[in-house]
């Protein structure tokens, strides 16, 4: 543990605080408090920081790297078999098999090659992995995600040509812009494609995401504290 990391003993209270804010944001807009899933983003944090959240009863977690998840989660899952693990980071097609083995939900389906690789691995494993299509709502050149104008066609391709069960859409708005137009755009694309799931909102803006219809919010820092600096 680095000096800047939140002590493990504080995690349950921080988690409970965020869960209460999620429920409150839902009821504030007339939604059921349980209608929003809190994905606790545990990327970069060690098992000793994650375990208190599991012991407190939380089961839905997000990770952004296949290799890191492979190192951390099998042992945690052995203790807590009903964990629901979400992949929220970019996926390469040569990692599709491992991703299908490790994750219950993959939120970053963003191009035909990945969709095809996942379809093959899901069929092979016979495991019902739920998929979200990531949309690059800000059309940022360096960012992952299908462009908004291509989203309808891509969702159709996933469903009709590949037989994939697309659960919803996910977005990461540009860091330097208001998130609300991006969340509203994501909700609009989901609605016209009949997609129920909307993964939008992080530590700084999850309440806004919930106001605009999020069914999943991905919250890391507000629960686990600052992330340790990236190892080279
Ligand atoms: C890291 C990450 C989050 C969590 O971000 P916080 O600001 O720490 O809540 C959410 N979504 C994605 C895709 C991430 O990579």
Tokens, residue 72 = 């951390």
pTM of the predicted structure, to 2 decimals: 0.96
Tens of pLDDT, residues 81-131: 999 999 999 999 999 999 999 999 999 999 999 999 999 999 999 999 999
Q: What is the 3-state secondary structure (H, E, C) of the chain?
A: CCCCCCCHHHHHHHHHHHHHHHHHHHHHCCCCHHHCEEEEECCCCCHHHHHHHHHCCCCEEEECCHHHHHHHHHHHHHHCCCCEEEECCCCCHHHHHHHHHHCCEEEEECCHHHHHHHHHHHHHHCCCCEEEEEECCCCCCCCCCECHHHHHHHHHHHHHHCCCCEEEEECCCCCCCCCHHHHHHHHHHHHHCCCCEEECCCCCCHHHHHHCCCCEEEECHHHHCCCCCCCC
**Protein residue whose Cα sits closest to atom 14 of ligand 1:** 88
pLDDT of residue 180 exceeding 70, the answer is yes
Q: Are strands 197-199 and 37-41 parallel, antiparallel or unpaired?
A: unpaired
Residue 172's pLDDT is 98
CA distances from 198 to 50, 56, 71, 185 (A): 25, 26, 29, 11
Task: Give residue 218 CA to ligand 1 midpoint distance, Å.
Answer: 6
Residue 218 in contact with ligand 1 by CB distance below 6 A: yes
Task: Give residue 124 CA to ligand 1 midpoint distance, Å.
Answer: 30
Domains of the chain listed by start with CATH number: 13-224 (3.20.20.10)
Task: Give residue 41 CA to ligand 1 midpoint distance, Å.
Answer: 6
Residue 129 in contact with ligand 1 by CB distance below 6 A: no
Residue 86 in contact with ligand 1 by CB distance below 6 A: no
Sign for the pseudo-dihedral over CA of 46, 51, 54, 58: negative
**Protein residue whose Cα sits closest to atom 6 of ligand 1:** 220
Query: Half-sphere exposure (CA, 13 Å, Cβ side) for 67?
Result: 2
Residue 6's pLDDT is 84
Confidence band of 231 (pLDDT split at 50, 70, 90) = low
């Amino acid at each position: 543990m680095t000096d800047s990391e939140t002590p493990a003993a504080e995690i349950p209270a921080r988690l409970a605080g965020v869960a209460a804010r999620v429920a409150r944001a839902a009821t504030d807009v007339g939604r059921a408090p349980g209608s929003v899933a809190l994905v606790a983003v545990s990327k970069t944090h060690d098992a000793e920081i994650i375990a208190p959240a599991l012991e407190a009863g939380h089961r839905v977690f997000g990770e952004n790297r296949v290799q890191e998840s492979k190192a951390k989660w099998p042992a945690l899952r052995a203790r807590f078999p009903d964990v629901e693990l979400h992949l929220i980071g970019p996926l390469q097609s040569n990692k599709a098999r491992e991703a299908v083995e490790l994750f219950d939900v993959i939120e970053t389906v963003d191009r035909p090659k990945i969709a095809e690789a996942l379809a093959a691995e899901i069929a092979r494993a016979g495991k019902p992995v739920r998929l979200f299509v990531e949309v690059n709502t800000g059309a940022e050149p360096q960012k992952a995600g299908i462009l908004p104008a291509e989203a309808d066609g891509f969702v159709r391709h996933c469903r009709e040509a590949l037989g994939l069960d697309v659960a919803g859409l996910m977005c990461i708005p540009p860091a330097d812009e208001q998130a609300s137009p991006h969340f509203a755009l994501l909700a609009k694309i989901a609605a016209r494609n009949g997609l129920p799931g909307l993964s939008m909102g992080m530590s700084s803006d999850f309440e806004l995401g919930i106001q605009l219809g999020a069914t999943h919010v991905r919250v890391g820092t507000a629960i686990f504290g600052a992330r340790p600096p990236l190892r080279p």
